[in-house]
Amino acid sequence: VHRVVGLAIGLALLLAPAGVAAQGVPGTVESAVDADCGNQPLPPLPRPAIPDNPAIVDFFSSFRAPLPPAALWNPPGQRRVGLQAGHWLTEQAPPELSRLQQGSSGGGKQEWEVNLDIALRTRHMLESAGVAVDVLPATIPPSYRAHAFVAIHADGGAGGLHGFKIARPAFSSIPDVDDQLLDDLNRAYAIATGLPRDDEHISRRMLYYYAFNSRRYCHSVAPGVPQAIVETGFLTSVIDRQLLLGNPNVIAEGLADGILDFLARRPSL
């Protein structure tokens, strides 16, 4: 049991910025409390507690539990899409996100530069189709709402890894709708780029992405908003860099097409 708990804590720390595993008072189900999204600065968080603290086990299991079902965010009028350029302006993150990482690099570029370039190209394509677009940094506005939210990343890894992968929150409040967004993105992205799917390397970091985690962080996407995270390819792959750096319009086209297919499922009122 001790080993399992240790593993759980290690994983929780790995997944969650800002030492959240230790926020609770021993014996309380700390995760039942929503993130405090008032204007007060968040208090400093204590360091991790003893390994077999039941509050930590509760925290970890509820961290993975599905959010309660939410109504789909689908107001009438112009469609709005949030595109997050992963790792962009990470240094400006608030204390609750102080453990955000810098991302990968390759081909002389930092990941955030590549993500931002793709986001801006995708914005242009979506705007041409009449969609309003917010290009967002690593820190998104509190309880962010749009008709769809897509976080854009580029992967790094050794051993000739290449290809793309897309995930939606494992704890989604609207799993059927998020699955539609996932399907539309997967189809359109594969067609546009010709890259293979690398689903077997979808990580917990993707499935429990911080910007999805409205239970823990104020700077997150609101429940009911369709949301996904895309690893567009490997910056460490010569093959993938031919598109990520050499022909980024193709990458953006794959994202824009998938998002437009998804939005077309619910014509604006």
Closest to 104 in 3D by CA, of 154, 145, 59, 63: 154
56/228 with CB nearer Zn ion = 228
Under rule CB under 5 A, residue 165 binds Zn ion:
no
Question: Which residue in the shown chain puts its C-beta closest to Zn ion?
Answer: 153
Tokens coding 16: 């969650």
Q: Is 81 in a helix, a strand, or coil?
A: strand
From CA 138, how far away is CA 128, in angstroms rounded? Answer: 25
Q: Is 6 in a helix, a strand, or coil?
A: helix
Let me know if 115 is exposed, middle or buried by CB neighbors in 10 A (0-12, 13-18, 19+): buried
Q: How far is the CB of 103 from Zn ion (least distance, A)?
A: 4
Q: How far is the CB of 265 from Zn ion (least distance, A)?
A: 28
Q: Is 82 in a helix, a strand, or coil?
A: strand
- Residue matched to tokens 């102080």: 98
From CA 23, how far away is CA 182, in angstroms rounded? Answer: 33
Provide the sign of the torsion angle of the four alpha carbons 240, 89, 124, 172, taken in this order: positive
- One-letter amino acid for residue 1 of the chain: V
Within 10 A of 80 (CB to CB), how many other CB atoms are there?
18
- One-letter amino acid for residue 61 of the chain: S
Q: How far is the CB of 104 from Zn ion (least distance, A)?
A: 6
Does residue 257 contact residue 192 with C-beta atoms inside 8 Å?
yes
Q: x/- contact string, 113-152, with Zn ion (CB under 5 A)?
A: ----------------------------------------
Rounded to a whole number of angstroms, the CA Rg of the chain reads 19
Region from 9-17, 25-33, 99-107, 160-168 binding Zn ion, contact rule CB under 5 A: 99-107
Binding residues with Zn ion: total (CB under 5 A): 3
Under rule CB under 5 A, residue 233 binds Zn ion:
no
Q: How far is the CB of 69 from Zn ion (least distance, A)?
A: 29
Q: How far is the CB of 229 from Zn ion (least distance, A)?
A: 9
From CA 58, how far away is CA 5, in angstroms rounded? Answer: 11
Contact pick of 17, 82, 86, 226 for Zn ion (by CB under 5 A): 86
Contact pick of 80, 153, 216, 219 for Zn ion (by CB under 5 A): 153
From CA 138, how far away is CA 261, in angstroms rounded? Answer: 26
Region from 62-70, 78-86, 176-184, 239-247 binding Zn ion, contact rule CB under 5 A: 78-86
103/169 with CB nearer Zn ion = 103
Q: How far is the CB of 111 from Zn ion (least distance, A)?
A: 5
Q: x/- contact string, 176-215, with Zn ion (CB under 5 A)?
A: ----------------------------------------
166/263 with CB nearer Zn ion = 166
31/115 with CB nearer Zn ion = 115
209/262 with CB nearer Zn ion = 209
Under rule CB under 5 A, residue 103 binds Zn ion:
yes
Question: Contact positions toward Zn ion, by CB under 5 A?
Answer: 86, 103, 153
